[in-house]
Amino acid sequence: AQLANQIAAGEVVERPASVVKELVENSLDAGADQIDIEIEKGGHKRILIRDNGKGIARDELGLALSRHATSKIGTLDDLECIVSLGFRGEALASVSSVARLILTSRPPNQSEAWQARAEGRDMAVDIQPAAHPVGTTVDVVDLFYNTPARRKFLRTEKTEFQHIDEVLRRIALSRFDVAFSLKHNGKVLRRFPRCNSEDTRLKRVATIAGNEFAQQALVIHSDYQSLKLDGWLLPPQLARAQNDGQYVYVNGRMMRDKLIYHAIRQAFEGLVDEQRYPAFVLFLSLDADQVDVNVHPAKHEVRFHQARLVHDFIYRALDDVLQHNLT
């Protein structure tokens, strides 16, 4: 079991930031609206994620740590229509095969918390009572302690932390309704309060994508049948400085999808010189059964059932706004 898990870990757990991404997605899937992240030494030493989500019952703790155990997909039909961020049941098993992982949790209907850790080669799970409010804490210590080859690929503490920060920025942009905090070596470096107004949302956008972006970007808001595109777009000619943020979400999931980038480039054709890039934060939403997210292990890419339609919809939505504001 250990070896199979370590092989799977190669796909999911590339570096500390990928652990943070998987664990925060689990917290979001659990319905948390407060997620606190504590990092030590760029994540080499410790990655701790605490949430106030629905928790994991005592009897399910061992299962949560085992491979291909997911509570999110019950049938093959569900695979056609994925609404949760996770669905492979691999993250916790993978992480616990390459680090010391302690899972502590309490669901609302359980009077005390329980703590589980996977131990030894056979990953037997040891379960103990613990103190914890409703929600879950995942504590990942000594990442890659047992896979020296992997550890060698880790960059400096500072670089790994920057990757973690970028993961948080991307996720924070997709969930304005959730509060996040991020600590590094005991110091709070980011605090995103919950946003309950357009004003507070723009404030978060300004923190993440920059003040100029938040003030100057064109608002995108378009729909066609079940397709919806919302967000902000800053053409370089409306900006003084180069704005680098390029954030794309499909049904709340962050993406680097080729088709979408192609549509964006096409909308800008002839409108920007090659030296400067547009910045954007775009949210595409469509029916979950119109998109296949089960394509890429890290889930960066999707497959649209009606690719042409999606492409042209995005192109038109952006082209409309650009023609209107730039010519």
> Can you tell me which of 1, 33, 87, 147 binds ligand ADP, judged by CB under 6 A?
87
Token digits of residue 234: 């800053």
Residue pair 44/160 in contact (Cβ under 8 Å)? The answer is yes
CB-CB contact of 325 with 239 (8 Å): no
Quick note: the x/- pattern for ligand ADP over 53-72, rule CB under 6 A, is xxxx-------x----xxxx
- 26 sits near ligand ADP (criterion: CB under 6 A): yes
245 contacts Mg ion (rule: CB under 5 A): no
Q: How far is the CB of 91 from Mg ion (least distance, A)?
A: 4
Q: Between residue 89 and residue 108, which ones bind ligand ADP under the rule CB under 6 A?
A: 89-93
Shorter beta-carbon distance to ligand ADP: residue 61 or 205: 61
Stretch that binds Mg ion, among 83-91, 161-169, 205-213, 214-222 (CB under 5 A): 83-91
Given the complex with Mg ion, which of 83 and 188 has the nearer CB atom?
Answer: 83
Count CB-CB contacts under 10 A for residue 11.
Answer: 14
Nearest CA to 218 out of 237, 231, 201 is that of 231
CB 142 within 8 A of CB 100: yes
Question: Helix H segments across the chain?
Answer: 2-12, 16-29, 61-65, 76-79, 91-98, 148-152, 157-174, 198-209, 211-216, 258-268, 307-326
Task: Give the footprint of Mg ion on residues 189-218 (CB under 5 A).
Answer: none
Stretch 84-113 residues interacting with Mg ion (CB under 5 A):
86, 91
The answer to whether the beta carbons of residues 186 and 39 sit under 8 Å apart is no
**Of the two residues 234 and 293, which places its CB atom closer to ligand ADP in the complex?**
293
Q: Whose Cβ is closer to ligand ADP: residue 138's or residue 173's? A: 138
Choose between 37 and 217: whose C-beta lies nearer to Mg ion: 37
Residues with Cβ < 8 Å from 19, sequence gap 6 or more? 13, 43, 47, 95, 99, 140, 143
Shortest Cβ distance from residue 75 to ligand ADP (Å)?
Answer: 14
Q: Which residues of this chain interact with Mg ion, rule CB under 5 A?
A: 26, 86, 91
Q: Which residues of this chain interact with ligand ADP, rule CB under 6 A?
A: 22, 26-27, 30, 51, 53-56, 64, 69-72, 86-93, 136
